[in-house]
Each structure stands twice: as structure tokens, then as C-alpha cells.
Amino acid sequence: MAVDVADEDQVEAVVARAVDHFGGIDIMFNNAGILGAIGPITEISAEGWHRTIDVMLSSVFYGIKHAARAMKAAGTGGAIINTASTAGVRAGLGPHVYTAAKHGVVGLSQSAATELGQYGIRVNVIAPGGTVTGLTARLTTGDHENLDKATSIIGADNPLRRGGQPEDIANALLYLASDEASFTNGAVLVVDAAGEAVGDRSHRFVEMGAQVVQEADRSGI
């Protein structure tokens, strides 16, 4: 079901459809994301700020809210897992607004975990590091289909010397969603081969934003 996660009515509708189709909802994975607004903080527009926050943070609020309502009504508990980022546990690993949104995901998730645990609803966070996807391939190589080169570039930034794969993140999700994690609540599971521990890379997003602004100026946009 195609959903704009920045629209609460649409998130509520997809949860309702899941409940109607399956008879209930046991797991909610809030995973939609974009890179969002980039560049120096003095150049970021209010529109860019709001769109980035809406897609990456407000959407998580909507997902928690409506999944929790359904889970509480069923009385059988459940697992809510939200995707943050290593940029949500340490500044300097992503653009400014992205970093703010991902910190918000962590804080919101842990706050919700303290409220919802009494209903058997666990709320946890996955914080991926450099993971090879179309988005990160475009960011690192300029081509969203060049996954091989992206794997090599991303892998150079962490101690295991390989880029993370979607399966690595999915396996972390499977643990947090499973009964084996029944005592794990309010946790932030960092999945990044210890890449979060290496240096400040925020400068690249500032430089990227400056380049975008310069190109727009040259094009008269």
C-alpha cells in the first residue's frame, strides 16, 4: 500500500488496513527516510527543514501512535522498531537536519518505551551506519545503481572494511521483533561495524550543500 508517511491520515489508514487484513498488528517497523535538506545551516530553508523532519521524525510519531493504539486495543502487546542512524547517537555523521531528526527518533522511542511497556509493547531503535542502498550509492558515487563501488567506498570508513548490507539491518530488526528480545525495551542497537567511532565526517555534507547552491546560482534557479 503506497503511503506518504508524512501524512498522519495515511499512516493511520495503513495500520487500520493491516489490522483488518490480518486481524491485528504485532510488529510496526518505521523505516522510511530521505537524506533531506543539506548544506551549511545558514543556507537551509524552512521548507527543507520541515519536509525532512516530517518524513523522518513526524512519521515515526504517527507510526508509534497508531500502532500502539491497535496493540493496546488487542491487549496482546507487540514490538515497534524505529530506524534512526549513527547520526542519531553522535553528531557529525550526517547533515544538520538529518541529525536532528534521528536524535529525535531516539528520544521519542525511548520516551514511548517507558509508557508503553506496561502494555507489553516494546519500542526499540536500530541505528545503522554506512549501509549500501540506492540512496547511499548516489551519495557516494553519484549513481544510485553503482552498488559495487558504493560498497567499496563505504567499507573504507569502518574497521570491518565492508559496507553494511540491507540484510545486516534486517537481521537486527528480526532480533528486536522476536520473542528472544522480550526483555529489550528502549534500546538503541547500533549496527555499523564500529564505524560510528571514527572521525567527524560532517564537512562533506556542508561541502555538498555549498556545491548544490553554487550550481543553482549558475543555472539561475
pLDDT in tens, 26-52: 999 999 989 899 999 999 999 999 999
SS3 82: strand
Predicted pLDDT of residue 200: 47
Distance, in Å, from the CA atom of 202 to the CA atom of 195, rounded to the nearest integer, reads 14
Place 74 in a pLDDT band, splitting at 50, 70 and 90: very high
Predicted pLDDT of residue 210: 61
Question: From the candidates 62, 98, 119, 175, which is the catalytic residue?
Answer: 98
Distance, in Å, from the CA atom of 34 to the CA atom of 112, rounded to the nearest integer, reads 23
Provide the mean pLDDT of the chain: 90
Q: Which pTM was predicted?
A: 0.85
Q: Kindly state the percentage of the chain with pLDDT values over 90.
A: 67
Place 112 in a pLDDT band, splitting at 50, 70 and 90: very high
Q: What is the pLDDT of residues 162-179, one digit of tens each?
A: 888 999 999 999 999 999
14, 15, 150, 162 from 4: Cα distances, Å: 10, 13, 28, 33
Residue 98 bears catalytic tag: yes
Identify the bridge partners of residue 32 per DSSP, sorted by sequence position.
none
**46 exposed, middle or buried (CB, 10 Å; 0-12, 13-18, 19+)?**
exposed
**Residue whose grid cell is 486495543:** 73
Place 198 in a pLDDT band, splitting at 50, 70 and 90: low
